[in-house]
Amino acid sequence: MFVHVLALVASLAGAPLTPPPEQPSAVASGPATIPLWPRGAPGAEQRSREPEIVENTYVRNVHSPSLTVFPAAPRHATGAAIIVVPGGGHRMLVFVNEGVGPAKALNRYGVTAFVLKYRLAREAGSTYAIDRDAASDLRRAIRWVRANAARYGVDPRRIGVMGFSAGGELVSLVADNPAPPQLASTDPLDAVSARPDFQVLVYPGPLGVPAGAVAGAPPAFITAGSLDQCCAEPAMTLYSQLRKAGVSAELHLFADMDHGFNIAAHSESLSILHWPDRLADWLSDGGWLHERPVTEPKPFKP
């Protein structure tokens, strides 16, 4: 099984793809991969055809940001979608344990998942910036999924983002902080909203916290380990901010757990093994796994 996963990762990191986003290309024996900027991401056009590099299960040298699609089985698909943003310190992408694995876990709950490959600002020789380029890749991903929701049986009003570690920083930058000024554009995708409907942060890094626009932030599920010197504090800080701003938020800190527990790929802890179930509970309680009314009902006042 592990050899098969490595082969899958290697196949996903092959030569850059060129078809327009309206025509997703299928990777042989694997999920479809969609380039977010078929003609090259802004500032990366000259390198867009460079192949990605796969080392073990990690991916780097990303110059053509993309989404890898993991559809929920039609028999129990809920219409919800989540864009999964792997971590890796902005030097690489932990593509299997914080991308493919979580995507397949979300599929079990009827959620269609899209795993994002974004540009890496801290990789050696990189000219990218986290807030300018990597966050832009996530915003582009949200716009693309929302614009193409019908194709995947997805409700465009139930699109969430889920980030691990450095990926959690991108989620917070996009969901909890002011958006950059909108530049004039002839790309119709730029007119689509890049605001996620809900957010999931898994041991999120400190960039973007304290957040700058929590009053308008979407509902949040946040989790981290109590021993995580990097990321327990940002998780608690963001939760406190959201709570004080009246934003629906849930926080889980797991005792005696450090950074990088992903979905229990290397842990024997039962609490870590089952934490995705807590996320599924939260998604269900929040109505994200069910069809939502076009207009939210107003609270009843006797």
Q: What pLDDT was estimated at residue 21?
A: 44
Quick one: how far is CA 150 from the chain centroid? 19
b/e sequence 92-128, b meaning 16+ C-beta within 10 Å: bbbbbbbbbbbbebbbebbbbbbbbbbbbbebeebeb
Q: What pLDDT was estimated at residue 16?
A: 38
Alpha helices (H) along 176-263: 232-244
pTM surpassing 0.75? yes
Reduce the DSSP state of residue 68 to 3 states and report it: strand
Give residue limits of the domains in the chain: 2-181+188-285
What lies within 8 Å, CB to CB, of 226 at 6+ separation is 232, 253, 254, 255, 256, 257
Q: What pLDDT was estimated at residue 266?
A: 77
Topology of the domain comprising 2-181+188-285: Rossmann fold (3.40.50)
Q: What pLDDT was estimated at residue 294?
A: 66
What are the structure tokens assigned to 100, written together?
């493919």
Reduce the DSSP state of residue 50 to 3 states and report it: coil
Instruction: Give the span between the Cα atoms of 124 and 29, in whole angstroms.
Output: 32
Tell me the pLDDT tens digit for each residue of 228-285.
999 999 999 999 999 999 999 999 999 999 998 988 777 788 988 889 999 999 999 9
Say if residues 213 and 245 touch (Cβ distance below 8 Å): no
Check residue 148 and report its DSSP letter: T
Instruction: Give the span between the Cα atoms of 233 and 14, in whole angstroms.
Output: 38
User: Shortest CA distance to 263 belongs to which of 1, 27, 87, 60?
Assistant: 87
Instruction: Give the span between the Cα atoms of 136 and 198, in whole angstroms.
Output: 18
Each residue's pLDDT expressed in tens, for the chain with a length of 302 residues? 434 444 444 444 443 333 344 444 443 457 899 999 998 999 998 898 899 999 999 999 999 999 999 999 999 999 999 999 999 999 999 999 999 999 999 999 999 999 999 999 999 999 999 999 999 999 999 999 999 999 999 999 999 999 999 999 999 999 999 998 887 788 999 999 999 999 999 999 999 999 999 999 999 999 999 999 999 999 999 999 999 999 999 999 999 999 989 887 777 889 888 899 999 999 999 999 998 776 655 554 54
Q: What pLDDT was estimated at residue 272?
A: 87
Q: What pLDDT was estimated at residue 299?
A: 55
Task: State which amino acid sits at residue 247.
Answer: V
Instruction: Give the span between the Cα atoms of 222 and 199, in whole angstroms.
Output: 8
Torsion, CA 239, CA 241, CA 243, CA 244, rounded to 10: 160
CA distances from 208 to 111, 119, 133, 145, 212 (A): 27, 18, 15, 24, 8
Q: What pLDDT was estimated at residue 295?
A: 60
Check residue 214 and report its DSSP letter: G
What lies within 8 Å, CB to CB, of 204 at 6+ separation is 163, 165, 168, 169, 171, 172, 222, 224, 231, 234, 235, 238
Return the bridge partners of 200, or none. Answer: 162, 221
